[in-house]
Amino acid sequence: MKINIHIAAQQLELLDDAGRVLRRYAVSTAANGVGEVRGSCCTPRGKHIIRARIGAGQPENTVFVGRRPTGEIYTPELGAQFPERDWILTRILWLSGCETGFNRLGENDTMRRYIYIHGTPDTVRLGTPDSHGCIRMRNADLIELFDLAPAGTAVEIIG
């Protein structure tokens, strides 16, 4: 099993071991484009793995801060109350780079940059770059992906 994230198409593909596409989802990557440097708010390219899976069993729209559920469930009213918040919802697939000097270790370390595949409010548009570096997905799509992709799954971000 492998995940490919295509920056230009703003799509995530889940592939089987033979390379056949099992699922295809719309995503949103960084508004700042691609890049590996800490503090850039860019989506890192290259080979990664899912290092950690967070949120199993949590209700859809669970709000996470610092990878921990806050006890809140996202609603449009909560969104209106905190309009500047970068909502991390439902599940987190925490990525770790595999290419030393490019997306692993030092100033370019994907995991230390807290780059995730995570859920987003249903009102957030997907299909266009708009995140702060992470890969945003619809919550229902993320739950499906989360259930299919174990820790250690290869992820390649192509851009």
Rounded Cα distance, 153 and 148, in Å? 10
Q: Options 1.10.10, 1.25.40, 1.10.8, 2.40.440; which CATH number does 28-152 get?
A: 2.40.440
The pTM of the full predicted model, rounded to 2 decimals, is 0.96
Q: Rg of the Cα trace of the chain?
A: 15
Listed in sequence order, the residues at least 6 apart from 65 whose beta carbon sits closer than 8 Å to its beta carbon are 88
Q: What is the pLDDT along the chain (159 residues), one digit of tens a residue?
A: 999 999 999 999 999 999 999 999 999 999 999 999 999 999 999 999 999 999 999 999 999 999 999 999 999 999 999 999 999 999 999 999 999 999 999 999 999 999 999 999 999 999 999 999 999 999 999 999 999 999 999 999 999
Residue type, 142: L
